[in-house]
Each structure stands twice: as C-alpha cells, then as structure tokens.
C-alpha cells in the first residue's frame, strides 16, 4: 500500500531525519515530494539511491499527496496544513500549531495509538520533551497511579534547529581559541554553558512556553486532566539528545523490580542502569538511537513508604522526539 508522501521543511534538521527514518524503516513510498522555502529550491537530497530536487512550498504543492510530514515551524503549518488537507492529504505536524486543538489528536504511538481514529485530516506530533518523558514513565503509569511528575530537562541544541547545532559547534571552537563567541541563533552562548530554555516566559505563572507545553500535552495524551506536572526546562550544550531528571509521586507504594520487568514488554525504551560501575544513559551514546534510555531508577532517600521514585531518561530529540514519532504515526495510518 505505497503512499505519495511530502516532507515540508525537508532541508531542516528534522526534515533530514524524516528521510533517514523513512528509508531505514522501509516505509512504502510511491512518490516523495521534498518541500521547503524558495531559498532551497534546486538543492537535491538523497533518498535511498535517488537524488530528489527540493521544490518550493506552495498551497498547490499537495496535489495527489496522501501523507504530509510537516516540520517547518508553527507559522508554516498554520499557513499550509489546511491546503494539504483540502487536497486530500493527512498532515502529521511536528510543530506546536495544532497540538492543543480539541479535534486534533496528539499521539505517541506506544501510548495512545487509538486517538488517531478521531483525526479530521491533521494529527499532531507532541513536543520532544513530552515524548521522551512519557515514554520513560508510561510503564510505571500503567502500574501505579501517579499524582505528580516533577521533571527537569537538559535540552540539546537540536531542539532549536540545525542552525543552533552549527552555532554550538562554532561557539566551542571560538571558546577554545579565545575568540569572540557568536550568538546569532540562541540568545546566550551555549558552548560550555547552560541556560533556562529560550522560549518566552509567561510572566504571571513564571513558566516558559516549553514547560507549559509539557504540562498541557501530558494531560491531553494521557486523557488525565488531574495529573500534576511541574517542569523546569534548561538548554544545555549537547548536540541532539535531550536528558530528563524525573521524580514521580505515586498514590501507592512501588516495587522497583516490578517496574523494571514492566519495561520488557514496552517497545521503545531500554533500561541502562548499572550503579555498580556508575554507568547510566548519556546523550553522547543515545544520539542516533531510536529508543529512549532510562536509568538511575530509585526510591526517594527519605520516603519510607516507597511512594516517590526518581529516574533519569535520555532520548534523541530528532528521532523519537520528532521524526521517528511522526513516521510511526504514519505507519499507524497504513
């Protein structure tokens, strides 16, 4: 059942990963259209053994397209997604444009695949930090009711796009050479540094937009408006894998061995937990891997009732945090 597929934002970091994931997973493609801004027209991108020219994104670009993978930012999605749907395509959107729309399913295939049945032409890909967190905790959530999630994220440059990844590289070179550090993409130097996530702050609540996304998206994906999520999102000087320190407050006592066993039947998560040699998931080792890796699974030191758990999760922001999750949604549509 081969499909005509379009990638919107094909020349970006996630667009490149769309090509890699589609090829790696042997997604059945009848024809592939690569769409980007006029600046990219004429470029050729390799898919399997073929070089495909990039076309300019227009409202008419979606004739005969059946699945359109969008990753070019919210404004582009809001401008062109409706055109794609009107021409018969199903849009899987990686931006925040439609995630909280009531009639748009927000899907992590391992968690709420049934939600895609309600789509009306658009399916939203969740925020990368939300996906990685939920993949890490979902087997626990199925075992024990969770009252509260406290999460601190350590987010890679890739979350701000290919230009931010390049800027991190340039900053590191400049820093080591004692040269002026370029800061054109991100607001502050990221090399050998970290800072509060560069999304805007809601002054009234004190939370930035990345943190608010994690709160609202988690409630929607889990269909649980009562779960309490308290995130702190930080940008750190890694290239493409996000890390998260997660604390779970449970309603009942937990058994860690039972928890570890539950992951054996949950696709997409690997346990890397070797305290005897102090070896746990690291962004450098998880980069380029499909699965989310978790470790440091432990009870709270002061909690004698064993109702508070801590763990550490790392996932590739461009893969499970973006392109892979979207392609998995497309596979569900097949």
Residue numbers annotated as active site: 128, 242
Residue that has been written with the tokens 């109702």 in this structure: 307
Q: Under DSSP, is residue 21 helix (H, G, I), strand (E, B) or coil?
A: helix
Task: For residues 128 and 135, give the distance between their C-alpha atoms in angstroms, rounded to a whole number.
Answer: 11
Cα 140 to Cα 79, 257, 310, distances in angstroms: 39, 11, 11
DSSP state string for 56-100: E--GGGGTT-SEEEE-S-HHHHHHHHHHHHHTTPEEEE-SSSSTT
Bridge partner residues of 122 (DSSP): 91
Per-residue burial over 4-17, b = 16 or more CB atoms within 10 Å of its CB, e = otherwise: bbbbbbbbbbbbbb
Q: Residue 181: CB partners within 8 Å, gap ≥ 6?
A: 171, 174, 175, 189, 191
Task: Tell me whether strands 269-271 and 292-299 are parallel, antiparallel or unpaired.
Answer: parallel
Task: For residues 285 and 244, give the distance between their C-alpha atoms in angstroms, rounded to a whole number.
Answer: 15
Contact 155, 235 (CB under 8 A): yes
Element (H, E) at 293: strand 292-299
Contact 249, 146 (CB under 8 A): yes
């Amino acid at each position: 059942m081969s499909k005509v597929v379009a990638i919107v934002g094909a020349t970006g970091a996630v667009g490149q990963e769309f090509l890699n994931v589609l090829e790696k997973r042997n997604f059945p493609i009848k024809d592939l259209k690569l769409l980007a801004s006029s600046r990219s027209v004429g470029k050729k991108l390799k898919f399997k053994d073929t070089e495909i020219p990039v076309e300019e994104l227009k409202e008419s670009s979606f004739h005969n397209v059946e699945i359109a993978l969008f990753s070019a930012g919210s404004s582009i999605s809001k401008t062109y997604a409706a055109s794609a749907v009107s021409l018969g395509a199903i849009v899987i959107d990686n931006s925040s444009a439609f995630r909280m729309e009531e009639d748009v399913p927000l899907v992590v295939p391992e968690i709420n695949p049934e939600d895609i049945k309600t789509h009306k032409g658009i399916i939203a890909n969740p925020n990368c930090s939300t996906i990685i967190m939920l993949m890490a905790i979902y087997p626990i959530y199925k075992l024990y009711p969770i009252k509260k999630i406290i999460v601190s994220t350590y987010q890679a440059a890739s979350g701000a796009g290919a230009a931010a990844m390049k800027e991190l590289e340039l900053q590191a070179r400049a820093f080591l050479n004692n040269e002026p550090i370029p800061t054109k993409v991100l607001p502050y130097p990221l090399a050998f540094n970290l800072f509060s996530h560069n999304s805007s702050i809601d002054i009234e609540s004190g939370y930035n937009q990345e943190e608010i996304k994690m709160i609202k998206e988690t409630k929607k994906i889990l269909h649980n408006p009562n779960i309490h999520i308290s995130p702190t999102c930080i940008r750190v000087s890694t290239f493409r894998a996000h890390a998260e320190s997660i604390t779970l407050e449970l309603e009942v006592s937990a058994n860690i061995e039972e928890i570890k066993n539950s992951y054996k039947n949950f696709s997409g998560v690997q346990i890397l937990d070797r305290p005897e040699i102090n070896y746990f998931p690291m962004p450098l080792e998880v980069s380029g891997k499909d699965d989310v890796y978790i470790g440091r699974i432990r009870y709270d030191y002061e909690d004698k009732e064993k109702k508070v758990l801590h763990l550490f999760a790392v996932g590739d922001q461009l893969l499970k945090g973006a392109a892979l999750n979207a392609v998995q949604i497309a596979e569900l549509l097949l």
